[in-house]
């Protein structure tokens, strides 16, 4: 069951669902969602001379990204074809019996701005800011202002609480994240040394040769 505004407010009042700061309840709480605002940090992807990024190589992933801070009152210009990571200004905590989904706002979608290219699920138990996958599918640059409402979160009540919610106990890699976080897929157990699923890196696969 997707929560309506009154249900969302009730869960926020109970305290297990957290959206912080929620400065303007009347504007941010929508009929069946809560609008979240853009934070000031962005991760941009630079052009690189290495043949490719191996997702499991944290060094390659980290070298590929560059953090930019844009204070409220300034704009981040998202150019056509750009893909950057942004963050919500709000920190959220999702209770064990709710799954939340990050959605774009129609008003930005109409300007060809997408806020989650692929991933939009916030697990039961997740706590932290939400990394936004921002892209511009149009042909005109669009100015994004930290503090503006860019995304919305919907909440679906689960039939029963998650038995093993997202969090430290299961070693969840994005738990407690602040600001946009680059991929940590290299922490996946299948990439652990000795695992059958371990992918190769440029050091051992002769990439580029």
List the binding residues.
105-110, 123, 131-133, 152, 166, 173, 177
137 vs 207, beta carbon nearer ligand DCP: 137
Q: Tell me how far CA of residue 51 lies from CA of 83, 100, 169, 186, in angstroms.
A: 19, 37, 37, 18
Assess 174 for contact with ligand DCP (CB under 6 A). Answer: yes
119 vs 203, beta carbon nearer ligand DCP: 119
In this chain, which of 13, 15, 73, 119 binds ligand DCP, going by CB under 6 A? 119
Partner residues linked to 88 by β-bridges? 38
Q: Tell me how far CA of residue 152 lies from CA of 86, 98, 188, 195, in angstroms.
A: 14, 16, 28, 38
Assess 121 for contact with ligand DCP (CB under 6 A). Answer: yes
Assess 42 for contact with ligand DCP (CB under 6 A). Answer: no
In this chain, which of 64, 76, 155, 166 binds ligand DCP, going by CB under 6 A? 166
In this chain, which of 172, 179, 186, 191 binds ligand DCP, going by CB under 6 A? 172
The angle at the Cα of 144, spanning 140 to 150, to the nearest 5 degrees, equals 110
Stretch (H or E) spanning 129: strand 127-136
133 is catalytic: yes
């Amino acid at each position: 069951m997707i929560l309506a505004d009154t249900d969302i407010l009730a869960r926020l009042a109970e305290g297990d669902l957290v959206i912080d700061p929620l400065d303007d309840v009347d504007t941010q709480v929508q009929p069946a969602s809560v609008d979240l605002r853009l934070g000031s940090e962005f991760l941009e992807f630079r052009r690189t001379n290495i043949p490719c990024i191996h997702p499991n190589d944290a060094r390659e992933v980290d070298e590929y990204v560059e953090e930019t801070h844009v204070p409220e009152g300034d704009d981040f210009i998202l150019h056509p074809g750009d893909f950057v990571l942004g963050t919500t200004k709000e920190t959220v905590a999702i209770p064990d019996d709710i799954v939340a989904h990050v959605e774009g706002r129609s008003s930005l979608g109409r300007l060809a701005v997408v806020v989650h290219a692929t991933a939009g699920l916030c697990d039961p138990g997740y706590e932290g800011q939400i990394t936004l996958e921002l892209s511009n599918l149009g042909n005109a640059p669009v100015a994004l202002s930290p503090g503006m409402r860019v995304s919305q979160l919907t909440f679906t009540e689960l039939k029963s609480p998650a038995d093993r919610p997202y969090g430290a106990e299961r070693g969840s890699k994005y738990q407690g994240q602040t600001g946009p976080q680059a991929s940590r897929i290299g922490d996946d157990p299948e990439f652990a040394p000795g695992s059958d699923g371990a992918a190769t890196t440029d050091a051992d696969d002769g990439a580029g040769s």
